[in-house]
Amino acid sequence: MLKKTICPYDCPTTCGFSVETDGKKIIKIKEDKNDPASGGIICQKIRHYERDIQSKDRILTPLKRVGKKGEGKFKTISWNEAIKEIGDKWREIIKEYGPEAIAFCNFSGVMSIIQRNCGNAFFHYMGARELVKTLCSTAKGEGYKAVLGTTGALDPRETVDSDFYLVWGSQMAATRLQGLSTLIKERKKGKKVILVEVLADGMEPYCDDIFLIKPGTDGALALSMMHVLKREHLIDEEFLRQESIGYDIFAKTLEQYTPEWAQKETGIPATKIEELAMLYGKAKSPAIILGSGNSRYINGGMTVRLITILSLMTRAWKYPGGGLCGCNSKNIPSYVRTELIARPDFRKNNPEKININQIAAATSENVKEKLYSLYVYGSNPANSVSNQVGMYESLSRENLFTVVHERFMTDTARYADIILPATFSVEQSDLYSAYGYNTLGTSWKIIEPLGESKSNWNTFCLLAKEMGFQDPYFQHSEEEMLEYLLENLSDEVNLSKENTKVLREGGNISMPFANHTEWKTVSGKIQIINETEKEKIPCYIKATKENNNYPLRIISVPAVQTLNSIFLNRQELIEKKGKIKLMMHPKDAQKRGIYSGDRVICFNELAEVEFQVVLTENIAKGAVAVPGVFRSDQTFNGLGVNALQHDRLSDIGAATTMNDNTVEVRRK
């Protein structure tokens, strides 16, 4: 039997595919050529999704800690015992310190609407500490929004019509396979692909030219490209004077941003900047394909504002395929009314918020508003947030009652007092709305949950009962909630009969591409100048400064074989991924007497982390990069790159700045 389902993980595509099942197990994964997002292309990770679902390493019963925190010793208990124990402990904490002494951590383990957002409703109802979920790309989102509001950018499927591609900081071979396949086809027809990257490793075969840029300086490149466009009369000034706010004022500031100035900032030769600006400016419908890496800096929001403005300078948006891809591609905030699941109206108190990027500090012993319990689901903060050493210290606290709802023994789960077994996407029902494509889909339960695993929804319903939460919300099945969401989609969504049928049966449907020529901002105009921003006139802001002790900049990049900390249990992928690596330029290695394959210590004021060095000419000088996330037992000294990351927030969007850190490297 073949059934349609959707990948639950945090990728822009949200691929639909099929599974062969006997009703009890998933036997095989099959590509679905008719899926509007994946088009039948699925990644090497999902190709054997069944191996994860049926993995011998899966946690299938509730577990209770019997050893020390982090030691990894647990005994099996029943769900009744687990829920009772959590309830007893929470009641005790609430009585003594109030519900604000309880926090939760959730991010992108499962991206579907119900399973991702139901915990918010539960913790709002409880009055627990609020979580600000900005671990990924909110600086990018807010930077774009500052210029274009909710105007929809390009859906990757529209880029077949682009006449030039500027891939700006995306390892598309890992993160945007389907978009990359379009580029490969179009390049064969003679269209050019240029890459602006810190680490171009793996993308070389797909590009005509590569611009290696110093981390966190993309704003300087965008500004100097606009300087050249202005000088060469390649800006469509008539269009901007009509349709934007502040073009002339902004244009005057461009004078200072010469290619020679930008060369000093970015490390890209001025002549190359001229060349890129001319290529871009002479194209009719160029697409900038923007990744998220360059927004993860203290200047990340401004960088994205500047790149968004650059994309509007030449009228490109008015032509099919022209514009910006990688930002919000819908003209409405959302097809689905997520608030029906997240229920912000359940919150009656106003506790101090916790930014997920600073959860290590927030859960530490030494804060005024001390926390006594942490509930983690769909997230693995021990491996995903900054300040990893601090995170382990917090998780080691005897007086932080920690519950982790998980599928595998992650580094976070290892520190839990109680572990609850979580389901896989095929064992639960939900609605998906891709963040990089204009698609909407459903994935209905295909097999019963293995062992005693339960979905997030079903677990929160049990916990609500235990805690005596009376609202009818907590008494529905997830299938009822899914029906309810389908009946209450956003007003702007109009479904044809066929599409309604697809959603009833399972699978992705294609939604209309956005209108890229009507500006969905408060003023109805492109906001080159935005009066509501701290920096009203866009300008160059520097990233965190290097210093003599730590002269190198370190960034984290996605690995092809894994997705954040997901797939770390899959043997064949882990073998392919290899040891925890530090990518380095031969010149930087030579200065330090380091050779390819050496074990090195990479360090800064936060930690010392051991890596194996891989030398490549395809990295900007002065930068080092770490691909992928590793479980502690897959590292050399128990720590990963997150141990070298400060928990500073971006300029706008309160996002991660995980790429904005400085280090030094020495041979071990």
Ligand X SMILES: Nc1nc2c(c(=O)[nH]1)N[C@H]1C(S)=C(S)[C@@H](COP(=O)(O)OP(=O)(O)OC[C@H]3O[C@@H](n4cnc5c(=O)[nH]c(N)nc54)[C@H](O)[C@@H]3O)O[C@H]1N2
564 is a site residue for ligand X (CB under 6 A): yes
Pick from ligand X, Mo ion, none: which does 107 bind, CB < 5 to 8 A by kind? ligand X
Question: Taking CB under 5 A as the rule, which mask of x and - marks residues 202-221 in contact with Mo ion?
Answer: --------------------
328 is a site residue for ligand X (CB under 6 A): no
Q: Considering the complex, what minimum distance in angstroms separates the CB of residue 94 from ligand X?
A: 23
When the beta carbons of 298 and 641 are compared against ligand X, the nearer one is 641
The helix/strand/coil state of 205 is: helix
Q: Considering the complex, what minimum distance in angstroms separates the CB of residue 130 from ligand X?
A: 17
Q: Considering the complex, what minimum distance in angstroms separates the CB of residue 296 from ligand X?
A: 7
CA–CA dist 153, 317 (Å, integer): 9
When the beta carbons of 393 and 525 are compared against ligand X, the nearer one is 393
Q: Which stretch binds Mo ion (CB under 5 A): 134-142, 182-190, 358-366, 517-525?
A: 134-142
When the beta carbons of 136 and 463 are compared against Mo ion, the nearer one is 136
Q: Considering the complex, what minimum distance in angstroms separates the CB of residue 495 from ligand X?
A: 26
Q: Considering the complex, what minimum distance in angstroms separates the CB of residue 339 from Mo ion?
A: 22
**If residue 584 lies in a helix (H) or strand (E), which one and from where to where?**
strand 581-584
Q: Considering the complex, what minimum distance in angstroms separates the CB of residue 10 from Mo ion?
A: 5
When the beta carbons of 136 and 589 are compared against Mo ion, the nearer one is 136
The helix/strand/coil state of 512 is: coil
When the beta carbons of 397 and 577 are compared against ligand X, the nearer one is 577
Pick from ligand X, Mo ion, none: which does 285 bind, CB < 5 to 8 A by kind? none
Helix/strand/coil percent split, the chain, to 5 = 35, 20, 45
* Full DSSP string of 539-582: -----PPP-SS--EEEEEE--SS-BTTBTTT-HHHHHHH-S-EE
When the beta carbons of 136 and 342 are compared against Mo ion, the nearer one is 136
Question: Taking CB under 6 A as the rule, which mask of x and - marks residues 452-491 in contact with ligand X?
Answer: ----x-----------------------------------
Q: Which of 405, 489, 398 is nearest to 452 (CA)?
A: 405
Q: Which residues make Cβ contacts (< 8 Å) with residue 241, sequence separation at least 6?
A: 247, 248
CA–CA dist 420, 481 (Å, integer): 22
**If residue 229 lies in a helix (H) or strand (E), which one and from where to where?**
helix 218-231
Q: Within 10 A of 365 (CB to CB), how many other CB atoms are there? A: 13
Q: Which of 326, 31, 403, 373 is nearest to 159 (CA)?
A: 326
38 is a site residue for ligand X (CB under 6 A): no
Kind of pairing, strands 373-377 and 401-406?
parallel
When the beta carbons of 59 and 312 are compared against ligand X, the nearer one is 59
**307 and 168 in contact (C-beta within 8 Å)?**
yes
Candidates 277, 400, 560, 607; binder of ligand X (CB under 6 A) is 560
508 is a site residue for ligand X (CB under 6 A): no
Candidates 159, 224, 438, 565; binder of ligand X (CB under 6 A) is 565
Q: Considering the complex, what minimum distance in angstroms separates the CB of residue 563 from Mo ion?
A: 9
Q: Which stretch binds ligand X (CB under 6 A): 361-369, 372-380, 474-482, 502-510?
A: 372-380
Candidates 16, 36, 39, 109; binder of ligand X (CB under 6 A) is 109
What 3 state SS string does 18-60 have? Answer: EEEECCCCEEEEEECCCCCCCCCCCCCCHHHHHHHHCCCCCCC
Number of residues in contact with ligand X under rule CB under 6 A: 61
When the beta carbons of 285 and 659 are compared against ligand X, the nearer one is 659
170 is a site residue for ligand X (CB under 6 A): yes
When the beta carbons of 4 and 296 are compared against Mo ion, the nearer one is 296
380 is a site residue for ligand X (CB under 6 A): yes
Q: Which stretch binds Mo ion (CB under 5 A): 76-84, 128-136, 274-282, 639-647?
A: 128-136
Q: Which residues make Cβ contacts (< 8 Å) with residue 498, sequence separation at least 6?
A: none
Which residues in 430-444 are b (16+ Cβ under 10 Å) and which e?
Answer: bbbbbbbbbbbbbbb
When the beta carbons of 99 and 640 are compared against Mo ion, the nearer one is 640
Sheet strands (E) in 90-150: 102-105, 130-132
State the DSSP code for 619: B
589 is a site residue for ligand X (CB under 6 A): no
136 is a site residue for Mo ion (CB under 5 A): yes
Tokens 């000419």, located at residue? 617
CA 641 to the chain's CA centroid:
17
**Residue 336 burial class via C-beta count within 10 angstroms: exposed 0-12, middle 13-18, buried 19 and up:** buried
Q: Order the strands of the 323-325 sheet from edge to edge.
A: 209-212, 192-197, 164-168, 286-290, 323-325
Candidates 36, 127, 141, 216; binder of ligand X (CB under 6 A) is 216
**Residue 554 burial class via C-beta count within 10 angstroms: exposed 0-12, middle 13-18, buried 19 and up:** buried
Candidates 94, 198, 573, 624; binder of ligand X (CB under 6 A) is 198
Number of residues in contact with Mo ion under rule CB under 5 A: 1
**118 and 341 in contact (C-beta within 8 Å)?**
yes
Binding site for ligand X (CB under 6 A): 10-11, 107-110, 115, 135-137, 168-171, 174-176, 196-199, 213, 215-216, 218, 291-294, 377-381, 383-384, 405-408, 410, 422-423, 456, 555-560, 562-566, 629, 640-642, 658-659
Binding site for Mo ion (CB under 5 A): 136
